[in-house]
Amino acid sequence: MILTVTLNTALDITYRVGALRPHTSHRVSEVTERPGGKGLNVARVLAALGHEVTVTGFTGGATGRVVQELLTATPGVVDALVPVTGPTRRTVAVVGQQTGDTTQLNEPGPVVEPAEWSAFQEAYEDLLPSAAAVALCGSLPPGVPVGAYAGLVRTARAAGVPVLLDTGGEPLRRGVAARPDIIKPNADELAELTGSHEPLRATQDARRRGAHAVVTSLGPAGLLAASPEGRWRATPPSRIHGNPTGAGDSAVAGLLSGLVEHLPWPDRLARAVALSAATVRAPVAGEFDHATYEELRGRVAVTGDVNAA
d(CA 173, CA 144): 16
166 is catalytic: no
Strand partners, 133: 2
* Cα angle value 248/260/296 (rounded, 5°): 45
d(CA 84, CA 64): 9
d(CA 18, CA 14): 13
CB-CB contact of 237 with 300 (8 Å) = yes
CB-CB contact of 137 with 6 (8 Å) = yes
Catalytic residue among 249, 267, 289, 305: 249
CB-CB contact of 86 with 92 (8 Å) = no
What is the distance between the terminal CA atoms of the chain, rounded to a whole angstrom?
36
Cite the beta strand spans of the chain per DSSP E: 2-6, 10-17, 28-36, 53-59, 77-79, 82-83, 89-96, 102-106, 133-137, 163-166, 182-183, 213-217, 223-227, 230-235, 301-303
Question: Which positions are catalytic?
Answer: 249
